[in-house]
Structures are given as C-alpha cells and as structure tokens.
Amino acid sequence: MQGLQSKLIKALAFIHKKSQITDSEFEEYYETRHAPLAQSLLNFEYYERNYINSNLCPLYPSLGSISIFKYESEKSLAIVGEQMASNAGDTLRKDELNFMHVEENFHVLTNSSERSTKTYSKKIFLIARHKNELKFLDKFSCIQKISDNLIADDKKMIAIPEYGIKADATIKGIELIIDEFPQIILAKTIS
C-alpha cells in the first residue's frame, strides 16, 4: 500500500559469512538452523533475512545477509535486548560462530517511516553517506522505495535506503541500475 507512513524502530544487521562458506551454504544454514533457533529463543515482532549474491555484489564479497528486525516500541526492543543478555543470547552467539564471520558483523538502528507495506521477494539497499544519495534510485520505475532507513548515530553513513524490486522488473532495468550505481546491494528476501 503506497503512501502509508508507519513509524517503527528498525534494526538492520549486516551479517558476514565465514570465508570458506558459499552464498548457498550460508543461506541454507541460516534458514534451516539459525533462524529457527533465534525464533524459538527470542520474541521477534518481525524478522527478515535478505540474502546477498556475492557474484552480483562484488563490492561486498563477505556480506551474507542484511537481516531486518522491526519493533513497535522501545519496550519491545528492550525485551529482545534482555533476552540477548541471557542464556538465549549465549546460545545464539555460539551458533553464529558456525557460519558467520562475527567480527565483521554490525547493526544500525533506524527510525524511519515505512512508505510501503508491500512484500517483495527481491530488494535493493544502498548505503548513503551523504544526503543527496537518499534519492539516487528514486528515478527507476522498476523499483519501489520502502524506506529511507535514516540513521541518527552513525558518522560513516546517514541512511540505508531500501527498495523493493517490482514483479514486472526486467533484467535490463536492473542492469541499468547496477551500471549506474555499482555500490548497490541486491538481495533475495525471506521473512
């Protein structure tokens, strides 16, 4: 639904894979072991994994996923924080060592409005370091902006604009975006 502006606390976690693990091995482990384990131990309101194809994103060869967690309130975020500080968090951190390069992982908290509640099977992310980069991809008709994902407390980036790739998008249309903006991150979405 376009035009809808629902405000959420949103965490974007940049999850890096171990060097000896392929993209498909990373996704399989995450989906069959880690995500079910996390969902059994933590109270998620929303949990989405966006898997990166390293062949299509050569600037990010170790990035395995941009995982998204959404929270309706600070209280909801605090509950998950408490769970992560408990034995449940210890169990998850131990499992992460099986397939993640944990030292490279990082997350950012955003406080932006969602422009669309539509779900997409593929997405594009762009790390914006300057304000003018927030609208770089808005001109392309084969994608729909989901959120600017504004970051308040990071000095290296100001936002991570997030776009859904429309069902009628063509390979040529996506190639045009990649040619002009090779720094984009293409992802397959599972929630």
Cα–Cα nearest to 124, from 187, 55, 191, 49 = 187
In the predicted structure, residue 131 carries a pLDDT above the cut 60: yes
* Distance separating alpha carbons of residues 26 and 110, to the nearest angstrom: 26
DSSP string, 127-138: -BSSGGGGGTTT
In the predicted structure, residue 3 carries a pLDDT above the cut 50: no
* Distance separating alpha carbons of residues 124 and 127, to the nearest angstrom: 10
Structural tokens at position 136 = 């770089």
Over residues 49-77, the pLDDT tens digits come to 999 999 999 999 999 999 999 988 889 88
More confident residue, 118 or 94: 94
Structural domains in the chain, sorted by start = 6-190 (3.30.70.100)
pLDDT band, very low/low/confident/very high, at 6 (cuts 50, 70, 90): low
* Distance separating alpha carbons of residues 99 and 15, to the nearest angstrom: 10
For the segment 143-167, the average pLDDT, to the nearest whole number, is 91
Q: Across the strands, what pairs with 10?
A: 70, 110
Look at phi and psi of residue 3 and say left if phi exceeds 0, alpha if psi is from -120 to 50, else beta: left
The amino acid at residue 52 is: I
Over residues 10-55, the pLDDT tens digits come to 999 999 999 999 999 999 999 999 999 999 999 889 999 999 999 9
DSSP string, 23-53: HHHHHHHIIIIIHHHHHHHS--S-EEEEEE-
The amino acid at residue 181 is: F
